[in-house]
Structure 1
Amino acid sequence: MFGRVVEIYGNERMGVFCEDGKQRVGRIRGKIKKRVWIRKGDLVIVSPWDWETPIPDKLGKCEITWR
C-alpha cells in the first residue's frame, strides 16, 4: 500500500496518509533506517499492522518498508 508522509514525530516514527484514506503512525524499518532518508511529502510503501485491534479515535500503526 502506498502512503504520503505528512508529519515527522521523531524516534523513527512519522504520520502517514495511506491510499485507503486512513492516517496511520508509520515506523521506519530497521533495514532502511540509516540507508534511506525520508522527508515530509515523500511517497512511501507501507504495510499496516493486521494483528492490531482497531481502537476508535486512535491512529492505526504501520511499518514503512521502502521509500
Structure 2
Amino acid sequence: MPKNKGKGGKNRKRGKKEADEEGKRELMFKEDGQEYAQVTRMLGNARCEALCVDGTPRLCHIRGKMQNKVWVAAGDIVLVGLRDFQDDKADVILKYMADEARLLKAYLELPGTLSLNDGGAEDGGQEDSYVHFEDEDIDKI
C-alpha cells in the first residue's frame, strides 16, 4: 500500500469552520453607492435577482470571495453595491444573517413591510400545517 502523502482530507482543504467568529461580526450599514436588497430568486452562475429597498429589481452578481463560502438563498437580506454605469445591475457585497437582519429592521434601516426569511417560525411553524373546519363545513361534506 502506498503511503499517504497528503496532509488531510477534504475538510482541511475547505478550511476551518469558524461559525463563532461569524456570529460576532460587526453590523455593517449601507454607505454611498450601496443599498439593502432581498433576494427574490437564484438564477445560477453566481447571479440572483434581488428587489432593492428603493423598489428597483436588479440583477445581482455574487462576488467571487463569497461564492463557495457564503450560501445565498431566496429571501435572504443582502447588501449590494450599485453600479454607476448600469442601474439595473448590482454586486452582492454581504449577506446578513437572520439576527443581523432583525437588528437592521429594528434600527429602521429596512422597511417594515419587508418580510424576513428566518429559516423557520418562532412558534415552531405548526400553525399553518393544518386546516381548521367549522361544524357547518363538515355537514356540507
TM-score range, shorter chain: 0.7 to 0.9
Q: Secondary structure at the match of 1:20?
A: coil
**Amino acid paired to 1:30:** G
TM-score with structure 1 setting the length: 0.86
**Which of residues 15, 26, 30 is equivalent to 2:64?**
30
Partner of 1:18: 52
1:26 to partner: Cα distance: 0.4
Structure whose alpha-carbon radius of gyration is higher:
2
1:1-67 map, 5 Å: 1-52=35-86, 60-67=88-95
Structure (1 or 2) with the greater helix fraction: 2
Structure (1 or 2) with the greater strand fraction: 1
TM-score with structure 2 setting the length: 0.42
**Which of 1 and 2 has higher RCO (CA within 8 Å, sep 6+)?**
1
CA distance in 2 between counterparts of 1:5 and 1:42 reads 6
CA distance in 2 between counterparts of 1:10 and 1:32 reads 14
Percent identity among equivalent residues? 33
Cα deviation digits, residues 4-63 of structure 1 (max 9, x gap): 0001111001000001110000000111111100000000000111122x5xxxxx1000
Runs of at least 5 residues in structure 1 that lack an aligned partner in the other structure: 55-59
